[in-house]
Amino acid sequence: MKLTRYCVVFSIITLLSFSGFVPTVRAQEDVLETIIQGVKHYDSLLKSGEVTLILKTELADDFVKSAKEAFEARGQQLALSKSSTEEVTIVFNGDKVRCETKHVEIEDNMEPSRDILVYDGEKNLLFVETFTEKVGVIGGKKDTSLMDPIRNFGLALFGKSLSEVLSSSDYKLNLLGQQHVNGAPCYVVEVLREDGTRGKLCIDPLAGYGARRIEVKYNTGGTTVIDTDFQQVSDGLWYPSKGSLLSHRRSDTGMVMTKKKTMELKKANLNIDIPDSYFSIAFPAGTRVADKIAGITFRVPTAE
């Protein structure tokens, strides 16, 4: 079916549902299919862009303690800031993504860093630079939550875009009903993963089918709740403008780890020409590089 038919069905069901009408099973199936098609349609409108956002992170003492214990168990040391503010610039074109992170504010005892993470359509490239060292990595699995962190706010679930998740046979979908989130009428879709983890999406069709609220209950215990505001950046195109994340995860030792994040969009230039040169990293001299594809480690030589 074409999206236009689903939009008509959705409009009728929306008016009836939020006025107290209980849809039939067939009508519920139509609404769920409309939501899936709507998410895929608006995701397809977002082809390329360059966006900048501010991310603020607060880690509770339990999170820091558990993370350090996990590293110490492997004979490693971890320096972790309990609070930080980062400026993140994301450039994307189709499946290719470049994410550059700079620390704006950090605890006095922490060393600021600059991180660049690139997916060139085939492989990951990572570069981390501090005052004392430069580290590079080639290879590794693409993760939307790391490559494009703004998508965590209303546009992604389980490290994948909403359109990928809702279109995949790996998940079971259930339409749970309707819910108002910050005054906006949303449809609630439950997403069940095979391992027992449950996601709940509160999708607003009037904001580009973005998820104004995402709730996740993990099979290992713990929850994550993400609330997102959207703004219309051009005709028919919506994008996250502000968001908050609160996560309570359980570590391997059973400790509950608490993390808070807030996001604020600074600027967004969408559907613009992006040259391929953005999606590569020329590791500077002195960088220690681990090539996971070739299975080798080397240091980039300095110029003679």
Query: What's the pLDDT at 68?
Result: 66
- How are beta strands 210-217 and 114-119 bridged, if at all? unpaired
Indicate if the pLDDT at residue 33 is higher than 50: yes
User: Mind listing the pLDDT tens digit for each residue in 253-264?
Assistant: 666 678 899 999
Label residue 196 left, alpha or beta by phi (over 0 means left) and psi (-120 to 50 means alpha): left
Six token digits for residue 253: 């030792």
Most confident segment among 81-85, 171-175, 236-240, 246-250: 171-175
Rounded distance between C-alpha atoms, residue 196 and residue 178, angstroms = 23
User: Mind listing the pLDDT tens digit for each residue in 150-172?
Assistant: 788 889 998 888 999 999 999 99
Burial class (CB in 10 A: 0-12, 13-18, 19+), 52: middle
Does residue 187 belong to any structural domain of this protein?
A: no
Instruction: Calculate mean pLDDT across residues 190-207.
Output: 95
Does residue 107 belong to any structural domain of this protein?
A: yes
Q: Residue 29: which pLDDT band, with cuts at 50, 70 and 90? A: confident
Rounded distance between C-alpha atoms, residue 3 and residue 206, angstroms = 15
- The structural domain count of the chain equals 1
* Type of residue numbered 74: R
Does residue 205 belong to any structural domain of this protein?
A: no
Indicate if the pLDDT at residue 239 is higher than 90: yes
Could you list the residue range(s) of the whole structural domain that residue 285 is in?
48-146+274-299
Query: What's the pLDDT at 58?
Result: 86
Query: What's the pLDDT at 70?
Result: 64
Instruction: Calculate mean pLDDT across residues 29-45.
Output: 90
Query: What's the pLDDT at 290?
Result: 93
Does residue 289 belong to any structural domain of this protein?
A: yes
Q: Residue 75: which pLDDT band, with cuts at 50, 70 and 90? A: low
Which residues have CB under 8 Å from 32's CB, separation 6+? 173, 175, 189
Which of these, 104, 128, 131, 124, lies nearest to 116 by C-alpha position?
A: 128
Compare 221 and 90 and report the one with higher pLDDT.
90
Query: What's the pLDDT at 95?
Result: 86
Query: What's the pLDDT at 253?
Result: 60
Average pLDDT over all residues of the chain: 83
Does residue 8 belong to any structural domain of this protein?
A: no
* Type of residue numbered 247: S
Six token digits for residue 73: 């168990």
Q: Residue 248: which pLDDT band, with cuts at 50, 70 and 90? A: confident
Q: What are phi and psi of 280, to 5 degrees?
A: -150, 160
Q: Residue 202: which pLDDT band, with cuts at 50, 70 and 90? A: very high
Does residue 198 belong to any structural domain of this protein?
A: no
Percent of the chain with pLDDT over 90: 52
Rounded distance between C-alpha atoms, residue 156 and residue 142, angstroms = 14
User: Mind listing the pLDDT tens digit for each residue in 257-285?
Assistant: 788 999 999 999 999 999 999 999 999 99
Query: What's the pLDDT at 235?
Result: 77
Q: Residue 289: which pLDDT band, with cuts at 50, 70 and 90? A: very high
Rounded distance between C-alpha atoms, residue 177 and residue 40, angstroms = 20
Query: What's the pLDDT at 22?
Result: 43
Compare 58 and 253 and report the one with higher pLDDT.
58
